[in-house]
């Protein structure tokens, strides 16, 4: 069962003065590497977990497989863990509540849950179900509601931020502790969103985005890399394969983590 102190510690990390920076992971090895780099918390990427399990991203992985990954990650690290649960891995609010209850048993302290193509009212019900499941477990779970208006380019650009904030208020009323708006990259819009929200704002960062400290100055409390780290890792695998099967070379391996270092991280986790 989760340590209540971990949940409060995780909640306290959401501070624009020093935003929580999350290099999202997908297995124990990636979690240990990220933790060893100084991460104060670990966050999973649903896409990375799905890919590692041989499935595409998008609510296509079974709950029990994800729970197995999460349990192994929580057992291997010494910092709080938050989990991307996509739409909740359930067909109904009760199903989402069951997912959350099982995650709490595994030791998670937070979840990301997304609206995707669902109507806002549906995600609000799922957020409420997650909150009630956490209350029953006596855990101060951090529920981060992801809004996909920018990722999916929903509505007219001129009204997209207003629509996003309308959804945010609905999810906050349902019990969301944070709002995640991946795809929101315009600095003026980020600042406007942060000022309008009554809970911490989370954005997804990548090449071309301002550094973490600058995002904090705009009011951002949490910065995630999403599936970016997993994509970079698989890009490294592809470069090595193309090098080997093309020119027959090995130079792409020059920047690999030394074997003793990586093996040592996993040995220490046992």
Alpha-carbon distance 147 to 114, whole Å? 6
Domain that holds residue 116: 4-229
Asked if 92 and 99 count as a contact pair (C-beta separation under 8 A), the reply is no
Three-state DSSP state, 3: coil
CA dihedral 15, 135, 101, 151 (to 10 degrees): -40
Q: What are phi and psi of 169, to 5 degrees?
A: -65, -35
102 part of a folded domain: yes
Q: What is the DSSP letter of 177?
A: S
Q: What percent of the chain has pLDDT over 90?
A: 96
Tell me the average pLDDT across 65-86. Answer: 97
Instruction: Render pLDDT for 221-267 as a digit per residue (tens, 0 to 9).
Output: 999 999 999 999 999 999 999 999 999 999 999 999 999 999 999 99
Q: Report yes or no: 173 and 200 within 8 Å, Cβ to Cβ.
A: no
- Per-residue pLDDT, averaged over 72-81, amounts to 96
For residue 142, what is the domain's CATH number? 3.20.20.60
Q: Is residue 257 part of a domain?
A: no
Average pLDDT over residues 48-55: 97
Strand partners, 202: 180, 222
Per DSSP bridges, beta strands 222-224 and 201-204 are parallel
pLDDT of 269 reads 73
202 is a domain residue: yes
* Average pLDDT of the residues in 100-125: 97
In a domain, 248, yes or no: no
Query: Residue 150 domain-assigned?
Result: yes
Cα separation, 160 vs 151, whole angstroms: 11
- For residue 237, is it within any domain? no
Q: Which two tokens stand for residue 146?
A: 């992801």
How many domains is the chain built from?
Answer: 1
The pLDDT of residue 5? 57
Examine residue 267 and state whether it is found in any structural domain, yes or no: no
Predicted confidence at residue 1, as pLDDT, reads 46
Distance CA 65, CA 134 (A): 21
What is the pTM for the complete model shown? 0.94
Share of the chain above pLDDT 70, in %: 98
Q: Which two tokens stand for residue 255?
A: 């920047």
Measure Cα distances from 64 to 53, 128, 196 in Å.
12, 22, 37
Task: Specify if 236 maps to a domain.
Answer: no
Q: Please say whether the beta carbons of 253 and 233 come within 8 A.
A: no
């Amino acid at each position: 069962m989760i340590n209540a102190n971990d949940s409060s510690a995780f909640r306290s990390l959401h501070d624009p003065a020093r935003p929580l920076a999350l290099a999202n992971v997908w297995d124990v090895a990636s979690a240990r590497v990220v933790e060893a780099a100084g991460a104060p918390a670990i966050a999973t990427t649903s896409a990375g977990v799905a890919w590692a399990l041989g499935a595409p991203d998008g609510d296509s992985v079974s709950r029990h497989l994800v729970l197995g990954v999460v349990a192994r990650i929580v057992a291997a690290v010494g910092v709080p863990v938050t989990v991307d649960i996509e739409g909740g891995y359930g067909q109904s609010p009760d199903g989402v509540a069951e997912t959350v209850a099982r995650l709490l048993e595994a030791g998670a302290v937070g979840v990301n849950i997304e609206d995707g193509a669902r109507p806002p009212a549906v995600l609000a019900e799922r957020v409420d179900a997650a909150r009630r499941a956490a209350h029953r477990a006596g855990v101060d779970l951090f529920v981060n509601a992801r809004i996909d208006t920018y990722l999916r380019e929903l509505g007219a650009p001129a009204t997209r931020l207003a629509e996003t904030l309308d959804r945010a208020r609905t999810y906050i009323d349902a019990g969301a502790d944070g709002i995640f708006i991946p795809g929101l990259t315009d600095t003026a819009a980020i600042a406007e969103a942060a000022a309008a929200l009554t809970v911490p704002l989370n954005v997804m960062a990548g090449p071309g985005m301002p550094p973490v400290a600058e995002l904090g100055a705009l009011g951002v409390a949490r910065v995630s890399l999403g599936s970016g780290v997993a994509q970079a890792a698989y890009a490294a695998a592809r470069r090595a394969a193309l090098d080997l099967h093309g020119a027959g070379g090995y130079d792409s391996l020059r920047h690999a983590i030394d074997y003793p270092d990586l093996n040592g991280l996993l040995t220490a986790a046992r």
